[in-house]
Structure 1
Amino acid sequence: MPATLLHLQPDDPIGIARTLAARLATTALERDRTGGHAAVEREWIRQSGLLALSVPAEFGGAGADWPTVYATIRILAQADSALAHVYAFHHLQLAGLTLYGNADQRHRLLTATVRERLFWGNALNPLDKRTIATASDDGFILDGIKSFCSGSVGADWLTLSAWDHSVDGALIAVLPATQAGITVQADWDAFGQRQTDSGNVRFERVHLPADLVLQAPGQAPTAQASLRSQVAQLIMANLYLGIGQGAFEAARTYTREQTRPWFAAKVDKAQDDPLVQHRYGKLWLLLRPAELATDHAAVLIERAFQRGASLSRDERGAVAIAVAEAKALSHQAGLEISSQMFELTGARSTSAQYGFDRYWRNVRVHTLHDPIDYKIRDLGRYALDGALPEPTAYS
């Protein structure tokens, strides 16, 4: 690791994230072109110490609050949204341990995460019910496949879900990624977010011990446990916003340093063109509401975590509304800025040497995670009738 990372104080996660983002940026364009598994860069993340950021201090972690965790995600997304996604989903799995696990599971798994610098991946995809859990004497046997498993390639441990036909419901559990019978397939081939390690995970007669089951099959989650979907959705919002911020800064820098002014503007510099200024003002008005809404939602998630088992349905619903606002605004900002930036930078900015298209490709792929129209519908219902979103894996 470079001295710049090693010499930063562990109580400066924002500084560490900025230094890490700067290093990721040096290879981000080339890695976006090649795709595949960014093993070296994932090791940079591991060595940074940020994997322990959200782990409570009682288990040896940094004990950072959620606004700080989300800030680091957004900083990394400005430079490399794919690896920011992998990093963010690591923290999503840790949130799941806190929300679903019992006291012993939290102690064992979170302590091990810090001590062994574990990198967590996701195989939970609630809409994919092809992985089946069959009860055995000391737990379950898993068979099937899971798709869209972010961060699974190169992960040390996985969070997973599996369907139990005997109760017509799913269980949630964790397993080492190297457990016998687990095969992680590096077959993610989307045109954006190309290094999120989001391939398929296959389970063939995999033994799941009972003490690694976080939520029993068919068990209804509490208001507290249902916060996991809100943690995930606000991760999406911060990734979209980070991409939008990264695109805005790339466009701003290019406009100031390289864009030639249009002859009809009769100015010497593109940045002095009043129409260019007007358009940047409109993009700024996409960014600022998204930033404010996203930061506000992070504060509400932190408050909800502090409430613990006392969290009420209405308090959880207020979080869901704030997260829906943040996600809808960040969705719009990321897509619009990454597209409109070319109208402000000019034809030469489309050269492959800049790779500016990656901003749009990454946010376009990621914003398809779940339909934004349903978030906007939830906001409309709330505006009309005060109805709070029903807790699901996506709301």
Structure 2
Amino acid sequence: MTTREQVLDAARDVANHLALDALERDRANAEPFTEAELLRKAGLPSVLLPASIGGAGLPWSVALEVVREIARTDGSIAQLIAYHYVNAHNLVWVADDAGRARWGVPSVANQWLWGDSVNPVDPDLRLARDGEDWVLSGTKNFSTGASVGDVTLVGGLTDDGRDLLVLVPRETPGFVKGGDWDNLGQRLSASGSVRFDDVRITPDAVLGSASSSGAFGSLVTPSIQAAFGHFYLGVTRGALEAASEYTRTTSRPWLLSDVEKAVEDPYVLATYGRLVARLRAAEALGRSVGESLSQAHARGADLTWAERGEVAEEIAALKVVSSDLAVEATSAIYEVTGARATANKHGFDRFWRNVRTHTLHDPVQYKAREVGNHFLTGAHPDFTLYT
């Protein structure tokens, strides 16, 4: 039996391994095939999948801890595993028993990573009928993990307006990866474009529809937003840990400080203190979110829309707090390390670049609005693939 402690030990081992050359890999901006294999060998892809198909069947709180742990040293690979957890969990949210077994058993046995091509604000993909099959066509500008994933979850629209989730194995003819992800941060997240040139989708590759799977299936959005929050918390802690090591070993006290070491400077101490205090509070909220989300998943088909809404609002609060803290803290570390810390050889900028890039996924102000609206009126936001 796989336990929470075993999974977190494996995640820490992966994080420590990734830390050895995190900066060099970030600058290389290569497709993360080696890193994906590291996740597979650690057994992390099957953490959430149910025991009925061979998975560990652990709660969502554990998966979120895995994301946070890996994000300490490599934000890109934390994004890969976070998106995988959400994509693969559509086997639980959306698929029927036959689909769950058909795709879940090999997914667990081979520790498959699932890529993502579902972004609802990206150009739509079309599914046209051809006998019993579907033909998938179109382009997605952003498709995290598709180039290195074993399968990719794809959201397409049919001619009669239905939205379907289908699975496309990596080497499927007509599935073209752009290899064009070259952004400020998250450089190894394999988030480039993909194109589907009349890809044939057989009936057994259709999982179902997220929009018609009820309150339980709608947990897809709170789950990915919870993963985002834990990702930001992990990067923040990683940035503070890296900065603190530099402050202890390399930073020099300011000439007007009247102290011998940077770690004795009252302003340095106060800056670290405020950031660490806020991080500890945000991490406590993150743990509460993990428990709430786990309980919501345990409700299964009995989950009500009101219960789902309460969980979504708590997660929205985490998104607001963790986003603001991550962007601020990853910049503020330079104030407690000093001018020499800006040397490219240290690479402290990668923490800020990663959170600055990913926090733009969806505007955090809309999450703040949701929290405020719920506080004042008790309202829950309508379900979308962003809320």
Q: Same fold (TM over 0.5)?
A: yes
Q: Is 1:23 the counterpart of 2:17 in the alignment?
A: yes
| Secondary structure, counterpart of 1:264 in structure 2 | coil
After TM superposition, the structure 1 stretch with the greater mean CA deviation from structure 2, 178-187 or 351-360, is 178-187
Structure 1 gap ranges (5+): 1-7
Q: Which amino acid aligns with 1:167?
A: D
Kindly indicate whether the alpha-carbon contact (under 8 Å) linking 1:125 and 1:147 is maintained by their aligned counterparts in 2. no
| Secondary structure, counterpart of 2:217 in structure 1 | coil
1:119-130 equivalences in 2 (<5 Å): 119-130=113-124
Corresponding residue of 1:181: 174
Q: Which amino acid aligns with 1:86?
A: L
Q: Which amino acid aligns with 1:196?
A: S
Pairwise CA distance, 1:9: 8.8
1:68-147 equivalences in 2 (<5 Å): 68-147=62-141
Distance in 1, Cα, partners of 2:258 & 2:125: 64
Kindly indicate whether the alpha-carbon contact (under 8 Å) linking 1:297 and 1:323 is maintained by their aligned counterparts in 2. yes
1:153-232 equivalences in 2 (<5 Å): 153-164=147-158, 166-216=159-209, 220-232=212-224
Q: Which amino acid aligns with 1:388?
A: H
Summarize deviations over 1:332-372 as a string: whole Å, max 9, x none. 11101100110110001111111000000010000000010
Q: Which amino acid aligns with 1:281?
A: G
Distance in 2, Cα, partners of 1:63 & 1:81: 25
Q: Is 1:358 the counterpart of 2:371 in the alignment?
A: no
Distance in 2, Cα, partners of 1:221 & 1:9: 30
The alignment yields a C-alpha RMSD, in angstroms, of 1.6
| Secondary structure, counterpart of 1:223 in structure 2 | helix
Q: Which amino acid aligns with 1:79?
A: T
Distance in 2, Cα, partners of 1:292 & 1:320: 17
Taking structure 2 as the reference length, the TM-score comes to 0.96
Q: Which amino acid aligns with 1:30?
A: E
Q: 1:11 to 1:75 in 2, by over 3 A?
A: closer
After TM superposition, the structure 1 stretch with the greater mean CA deviation from structure 2, 66-75 or 135-144, is 135-144
Distance in 1, Cα, partners of 2:111 & 2:11: 17
Pairwise CA distance, 1:279: 1.1
Corresponding residue of 1:373: 365
Structure 2 gap ranges (5+): none
Pairwise CA distance, 1:147: 2.0
Q: Which amino acid aligns with 2:139?
A: I
Identical-residue share of aligned pairs (%): 36
Kindly indicate whether the alpha-carbon contact (under 8 Å) linking 1:14 and 1:71 is maintained by their aligned counterparts in 2. yes
Pairwise CA distance, 1:219: 5.4
Aligned with residue 336 of structure 1, among 328, 342, 348? 328
Kindly indicate whether the alpha-carbon contact (under 8 Å) linking 1:289 and 1:329 is maintained by their aligned counterparts in 2. no
Aligned length: 386
Distance in 1, Cα, partners of 2:190 & 2:73: 17
Kindly indicate whether the alpha-carbon contact (under 8 Å) linking 2:4 and 2:62 is maintained by their aligned counterparts in 1. no
Aligned with residue 323 of structure 1, among 315, 318, 328? 315
Q: Which amino acid aligns with 1:146?
A: K
Corresponding residue of 2:51: 57
Kindly indicate whether the alpha-carbon contact (under 8 Å) linking 2:123 and 2:141 is maintained by their aligned counterparts in 1. no
Pairwise CA distance, 1:249: 0.8
Q: Which amino acid aligns with 1:172?
A: L
Corresponding residue of 2:293: 301
